[in-house]
Amino acid sequence: MSPTATATITPQDAPTTMLDDFLIRAALAGIGLTLATGPLGSFVVWRRMAYFGDATSHAAILGVALAFGFGLPLYAGTLVVALAMALTVAALSGRGHAMDTVLGVLAHAALAFGLVAASFISGLRVDLTAFLFGDILAVSRTDLAVVWGGSAVVAVLLIWRWQELLTATVNEELAQASGQDPLRARLVLTLALALTVAVAIKIVGALLIAALLIIPAAAARQLARGPESMALAATAIGATSVLGGLQASLNFDTPAGPSIVVVAALIFVLSLGVKRRG
């Protein structure tokens, strides 16, 4: 199976042992990713940074093209460009620009530049459009190590700065009065988001990263009573979405990445009903 082709699970294509092997890797990769997207997605929802995630994930396609063009590791090229985009957006956000317009220009321009740049790379046999939706079924053991390592770094970073991030999210003036630096909190989230996008691009793709960040956190917000419980619930909902999406892909022969997001969306709809009854 090509590592860049959008795939669906078809039991007839491989023996049971092989099927179990790549399914286990896919499940482990997805669950590992939710260790970062759960708590980070909670901050994205609290701070209304959904646009930020979209811009960073779209820019990651340009990073993929540059990585192939210059012979760099895929994750390194993606991380550099995602971080550059995140820092650019963070810098512009404090200067009074019309952020919806600026982000629309940056996100779509970076995505288009990435796809166009790929056409100028001679001998490139990779279709970058596959990175728009990812291919969780083609995850290798090396990818697993990168995903779990990157997610662990993000999780540790957020736990380390948890109280500072919470205070700055609730009230930046209160954070300053407490001797904290809101700019540093914004930078921590920027770095965490760029790293998450870099490790997630191959698994769920640029167009689905923001969905995996936002939807589980939005569903958890309907159910949780505090910040910590929301972060944990978002992680649990993300992991459930991964397992449910893979099972749905196996049963109905549908694309795995989008199936995961569909399950997450269904959980969000159910969470709205739970809140109404509460």
Amino acid at 95: R
Query: What type of residue sits at position 116?
Result: V
Q: How far apart are alpha carbons 157 and 46 in whole angstroms?
A: 18
Collect all residues with Cβ–Cβ distance below 8 Å to 6 and sequence separation of at least 6.
130, 133, 134, 135, 255, 257
The confidence score (pLDDT) of residue 7 equals 52
**What is the structure's pLDDT at 196?**
94
Give the whole-angstrom CA distance, residue 81 versus residue 78: 5
What confidence tens digit (pLDDT) does each residue in 205-263 have? 888 898 999 999 999 998 998 999 999 999 999 999 999 999 999 999 999 999 999 99
CA distances to 69, 74, 81, 275 from 55, rounded to whole Å, are 22, 19, 11, 31
Q: What residues have CB less than 8 Å from 106, skipping those under 6 apart?
A: 55, 59, 85, 88, 89
Average pLDDT over residues 41-55: 85
Q: Are 57 and 106 in contact (CB under 8 A)?
A: no
- Give the end-to-end CA distance of the chain in Å, rounded to a whole number: 47
Task: Say if CB 256 and CB 26 are below 8 A apart.
Answer: yes
Half-sphere exposure of 202 (CA within 13 A, CB side): 27
The mean pLDDT of 68-76, rounded to a whole number, is 86
Q: Domain locations in the chain?
A: 11-273
pTM of the model: 0.86
Spatial CA neighbour of 238 closest among 149, 140, 155: 155
**pLDDT tens-digit readout, 27-47:** 999 999 999 999 999 999 998
Q: Is the pLDDT of residue 58 over 90?
A: no
CA–CA separation, 37 and 144 (whole Å): 16
More confidently predicted of 22 and 151: 151
The identity of residue 8, as a single letter, is T
Query: How many angstroms separate the most distant Cα atoms in the chain?
Result: 63
Which CATH superfamily, name and number, covers 11-273?
ABC transporter involved in vitamin B12 uptake, BtuC (1.10.3470.10)
| Per-residue confidence (pLDDT) for residue 117, from 0 to 100 | 82
Percent of the chain with pLDDT over 90: 40
Does residue 104 carry a pLDDT above 80? Answer: no
- Coil/strand/helix, residue 265: helix
Q: What is the pLDDT of residues 125-178, one digit of tens each?
A: 666 777 888 889 989 889 999 999 999 999 999 999 999 999 988 887 877 887
Which of 61-70, 93-102, 105-114, 223-232 is predicted least confidently? 93-102
pLDDT on residue 124: 67
Give the bridge partners for 262, in sequence order: none
More confident residue, 17 or 63: 63
The Cα 231–Cα 237 span in angstroms is: 10
Per-residue DSSP letter, 255: B
Q: Decide if 220 contacts 230 (C-beta within 8 A).
A: yes
Q: Give me Rg for the CA atoms of the chain.
A: 19
